[in-house]
Chain A
């Protein structure tokens, strides 16, 4: 049930996760800030409301799966996994350090709770399609979620996977598009326009929803809607803001792969009420 209290709790969790992301990126002095902050609300809805999973048993057979196709948002994934209890929060400050289980991009063999290896764009969604097929074959009712970046849609493999997901009528698959409009070289629309995204996925025979990607209530409702859809995979276009939550990071392509400095961290935490 999605009560107002639940939504408020999720919002509080997302705020904590933003703090975790900023702190770990500051400690690492390397990594992707903007895209982690834009994706975190959708991931909060998944990990702390929607998905059936068991942090004490990461390989539980009947679990729902989350595949971070835009693997560079690994800090957002690690923040969720740590807060959910897959590993201690202290580990977060080892991000990107030699010997750490928290690699620059998600590694299924190192981090508890990470399902597959991603980081090379376009490959996560294909793997999600394969997992959805396996889940169906095994007769499991698991739902498979994958989160894509909008720049990522430039990879041809995404469209191969989109075609396959519809062809195999994978209604157990839900992709979420973190549509923050920016990629490393600038605006997605200017680098290589991927739009109109909704009509394209509709034409590929997907069920398409569009929400404010920072409105937790709207995200949760869209996830419920996706679950009720028969015979088609669902794409939730989450309209987001790169760097969301920290005003001086917002809407800036320049913060794609730049961590917060000590000064920026201090100001960001102050803004988030965590100084």
Chain B
């Protein structure tokens, strides 16, 4: 059994390390520092932490101003408020001017759980991906989150990082090199390819093991960088395996599945099955119940693989 770490916890720790390494790193939050884990930074660096209160629009604007003044701001809140409520501030004050601000949105997807559909962002990747100049990252586990946060800090320009509330299995136990725009082949395979992001990548590995027993060879590619997309890796997988299943804790519209389909349609069309929320909002329940209810489990990935193989 893998170790379980919530990506938000890895974020909190990494942010604290960055704070110790670089005095230009500043952090903003909108009254959720306990949940987003920016509170760790706030405790050690109270002068470089700015609580905007429950005012996400102004938080993003302040972050832009801090970046304009030479700081490297990380601004955090839940994904539903970051990409939703503060969307136009992210567009005008960050993306349009290419401002060096990192929006790290926690509580993405349905594994937010009991708070229900109002708090479960299923559209943030699509929204952020549509913005010119925006880099969109969605790490799979704790170690990759640490690497992604460091990569975001090193990158000059706006970055949106989507993290989760729930503990998820570690799939990069030795840590990982994170390069923006590069995917990672987690497992080789020749009959089809799972192309996944966030917590679905661990599930794709489980699904590939189940398929192996059925003598089906599934490749698993994890894309921690949704934008820029590793188009070369995606097209190679399509050429070599001839079928693709995408999976994400997000709507099937406009996120990873959308991005992969765009790349394949233009570069090398093959049958695709998209696993994700089928154009619906979430609801209250435990994270595990919701993943099962909305079809985001290894068993569902196996079914999607069997469907796509029939279309080859």
Given contacts A123-B89, A137-B48, contact A116 B60 (CB under 8 A): no
Chain B CB within 8 A of A34 CB: no
> What chain A residues lie within 8 Å of B152 (beta carbons)?
none
Q: Are B57 and A164 in contact (CB under 8 A)?
A: no
> In whole angstroms, how far apart are the Cα atoms of A165 and B143 in the complex?
37
Chain B CB within 8 A of A223 CB: no
> What chain A residues lie within 8 Å of B55 (beta carbons)?
160, 163-164
> What chain A residues lie within 8 Å of B64 (beta carbons)?
116, 123, 126-127, 130
- Considering only residues 47-101 of chain B, those with a C-beta below 8 Å from chain A are 47-48, 50, 52-53, 55, 57-58, 60-71, 73, 88-89, 92-93, 96-99
Q: Are B89 and A130 in contact (CB under 8 A)?
A: no
Q: Are A123 and B61 in contact (CB under 8 A)?
A: yes
- Considering only residues 115-159 of chain A, those with a C-beta below 8 Å from chain B are 115-117, 119-120, 122-123, 125-135, 137-138, 156-157
Q: Are A123 and B70 in contact (CB under 8 A)?
A: no
> What chain A residues lie within 8 Å of B259 (beta carbons)?
none
Please report the number of residue pairs spanning A and B whose Cβ atoms sit closer than 8 angstroms.
Answer: 107
Chain B CB within 8 A of A20 CB: no
- Considering only residues 5-38 of chain B, those with a C-beta below 8 Å from chain A are 26
Q: Are A126 and B69 in contact (CB under 8 A)?
A: no
The minimal Cβ–Cβ distance linking A109 to chain B, given in whole angstroms, is 6
Number of interface residues of B (CB under 8 A): 30
Q: Are A128 and B65 in contact (CB under 8 A)?
A: yes
The minimal Cβ–Cβ distance linking B292 to chain A, given in whole angstroms, is 40
> In whole angstroms, how far apart are the Cα atoms of A137 and B99 in the complex?
19
Chain B CB within 8 A of A168 CB: yes
Q: Are A123 and B92 in contact (CB under 8 A)?
A: yes
Q: Are A127 and B57 in contact (CB under 8 A)?
A: no
> What chain A residues lie within 8 Å of B48 (beta carbons)?
137
Among the listed B47, B65, B70, which residue makes an inter-chain contact with A126, where contact means beta carbons less than 8 Å apart?
Answer: B65
**Residues on B close to A: CB < 8 A?**
26, 47-48, 50, 52-53, 55, 57-58, 60-71, 73, 88-89, 92-93, 96-99
Closest 7 CB pairs of A and B: A130-B65, A126-B61, A134-B69, A160-B58, A130-B62, A160-B55, A127-B65
Given contacts A129-B61, A134-B26, A157-B61, could you give 12 more A-B pairs where the C-beta distance is less than 8 Å?
Answer: A116-B64, A126-B65, A127-B65, A129-B58, A130-B61, A131-B65, A131-B68, A133-B66, A134-B70, A157-B89, A160-B53, A164-B55
